[in-house]
């Protein structure tokens, strides 16, 4: 597996700092299903769980009521819906949200193998049956993409990867997928904080295709692989042109430059199991103080921009989900950097090559 751009040039102490991972630990058992249906219901009945908490992502909140009713009727278990939509794959119902539950049903995500969970869990990945591989391959070929392509996909569209690979092969194109590290459950999978399935094959391909929707994953991928990244929407059969990686990087570097004079830093920590980098936060605080800067840790679960209003700080560094600094930065009144960007701002890492924040 190749390192992301910039990793090789890191000073060893910075590499050790940035490679710190959320704590691992043993988890209760988990079961994985493609969709809500009889196999899921049968497994819940078989395991004898009587009280469930159901967690859904924002895109499925409209269906949560009906899904809870289906679960209850099919299993006889008590079902409570976690009112807070799931933030991402490493966000499980909190102890309070799961009060009284003896198992959780988690929709829209795969397990993250190295993130501990508090309760037995039924993951329902909500795999999509949609997408015509022949039509998608035609779209890729007509757009003139290079013949050696790498691919990553969001979990809902992983079943399309094999048929699309074959459809492209019939048209003289090679589609490669890679196997990521212990944070990814499947080859070709990507998380917003982990693109190791792509960096594993980046040297062998001339461009990447992200199979899915939304901009968060392709932007992260473009930061990591330094190859053109196209977005292929499998249901609409639309192909977006490659992102301008140079512009993305320059925007972040400008932000870093703006923070060079920051004296008072707030270091954000989330206690979500898969984002909890308290040791890294403590090390960043120590680095800041060693340089005569002021730094304090701000602890949270799911960060709300309102939580940081009125704070007497010049800039924040976010050790939680990279989406907070990269996607939601405009929601905050002060600049929000990632940990590598913070090290750039205080002069411990060069601006080039730009290093993306990843979890492993």
Query: From the CB of 92, what's the least distance to ligand SF4, in Å?
Result: 10
By beta-carbon proximity to ligand SF4, the closer residue of 178 and 322 is 322
Distance of CA 309 to the CA centre of its chain: 26
Query: From the CB of 228, what's the least distance to ligand SF4, in Å?
Result: 22
Phi, psi (5° rounding) for residue 224? -85, -40
DSSP secondary structure string for all residues of 134-198: HHHHHHHHHTT--SEEEEEE-GGGGGGHHHHHHHHHTTT-EEE-----TT-SSTTB-BTTB-HHH
By beta-carbon proximity to ligand SF4, the closer residue of 243 and 321 is 321
Q: What is the DSSP letter of 86?
A: B
Query: From the CB of 214, what's the least distance to ligand SF4, in Å?
Result: 12
By beta-carbon proximity to ligand SF4, the closer residue of 79 and 320 is 320
CA distances from 243 to 37, 207, 222, 305 (A): 38, 11, 7, 27
Q: What is the DSSP letter of 333?
A: S
* Cα 335 to Cα 313: distance, rounded to the nearest angstrom: 10
* CB contact set of 33 (below 8 Å; sequence gap of 6+): 39, 40, 43, 122, 123, 124, 125
Query: From the CB of 108, what's the least distance to ligand SF4, in Å?
Result: 11
Residue 353 preceded by cis peptide, ω within 30: yes
Query: From the CB of 316, what's the least distance to ligand SF4, in Å?
Result: 17
Tell me which H or E stretch contains 249: helix 245-258
Q: Return the exposure string of 287-314: e unless at least 16 CB atoms fall within 10 Å of the residue's CB, then b.
A: bbeeeebebeebeeebbeeeebeeeebb
By beta-carbon proximity to ligand SF4, the closer residue of 114 and 177 is 114
CA distances from 48 to 36, 77, 101, 103 (A): 18, 9, 12, 10
By beta-carbon proximity to ligand SF4, the closer residue of 139 and 179 is 179
By beta-carbon proximity to ligand SF4, the closer residue of 90 and 121 is 90
Query: From the CB of 270, what's the least distance to ligand SF4, in Å?
Result: 8
Query: From the CB of 115, what's the least distance to ligand SF4, in Å?
Result: 8
Give the CB-nearest residue to ligand SF4.
88
Query: From the CB of 313, what's the least distance to ligand SF4, in Å?
Result: 23
By beta-carbon proximity to ligand SF4, the closer residue of 140 and 324 is 324
Query: From the CB of 355, what's the least distance to ligand SF4, in Å?
Result: 17
By beta-carbon proximity to ligand SF4, the closer residue of 91 and 341 is 91
By beta-carbon proximity to ligand SF4, the closer residue of 90 and 315 is 90
Q: Which long-range contacts (C-beta less than 8 Å, at least 24 apart) are formed by 40-44? A: 40/105, 40/122, 40/124, 41/71, 41/74, 41/75, 43/122, 44/71, 44/75, 44/77, 44/103, 44/105, 44/122
Residues forming contacts to ligand SF4 in the complex (CB under 6 A) are 87-91, 191-193, 274-275, 321, 323, 359
């Amino acid at each position: 597996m190749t390192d992301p751009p910039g990793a090789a040039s890191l000073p060893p102490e910075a590499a050790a700092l940035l490679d710190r991972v959320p704590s691992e630990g043993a988890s209760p058992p988990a079961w994985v299903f493609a969709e809500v249906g009889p196999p899921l219901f049968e497994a819940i009945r078989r395991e004898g769980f009587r009280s469930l908490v159901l967690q859904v992502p924002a895109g499925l909140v409209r269906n949560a009521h009906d899904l809870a009713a289906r679960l209850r009727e099919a299993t006889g278990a008590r079902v409570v819906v976690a009112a807070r939509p799931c933030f991402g794959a490493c966000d499980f119902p909190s102890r309070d949200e799961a009060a009284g539950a003896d198992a959780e049903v988690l929709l829209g995500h795969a397990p993250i193998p190295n993130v501990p969970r508090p309760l037995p869990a039924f993951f329902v990945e909500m795999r999509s049956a949609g997408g015509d591989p022949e039509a998608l391959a035609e779209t890729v070929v007509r757009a003139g993409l290079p013949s050696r392509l790498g691919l990553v996909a969001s979990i809902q569209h992983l079943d399309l990867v094999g048929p699309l690979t074959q459809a492209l092969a019939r048209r003289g194109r090679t589609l490669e997928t890679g196997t990521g590290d212990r944070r990814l459950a499947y080859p070709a999978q990507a998380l917003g904080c982990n693109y190791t399935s792509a960096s594993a094959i980046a040297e062998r391909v001339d461009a990447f295709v992200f199979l899915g929707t939304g901009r968060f994953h392709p932007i992260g991928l473009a930061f990591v692989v330094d190859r053109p990244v196209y977005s292929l929407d499998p249901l609409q059969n639309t192909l977006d042109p490659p992102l301008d990686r140079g512009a993305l990087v320059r925007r972040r570097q400008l932000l870093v430059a703006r923070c060079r004079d920051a004296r008072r830093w707030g270091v954000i920590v989330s206690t979500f199991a898969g984002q909890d980098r308290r040791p890294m936060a403590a090390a960043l605080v120590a680095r800041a103080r060693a340089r005569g800067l002021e730094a304090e840790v701000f602890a949270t679960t799911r960060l709300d921009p309102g939580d940081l209003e009125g704070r007497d700080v010049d800039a924040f560094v976010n050790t939680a989900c990279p989406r907070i600094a990269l996607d939601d930065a405009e929601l905050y009144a002060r600049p929000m950097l990632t940990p590598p960007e913070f090290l750039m701002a205080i002069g411990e890492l060069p601006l080039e090559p730009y290093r993306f924040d990843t979890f492993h």
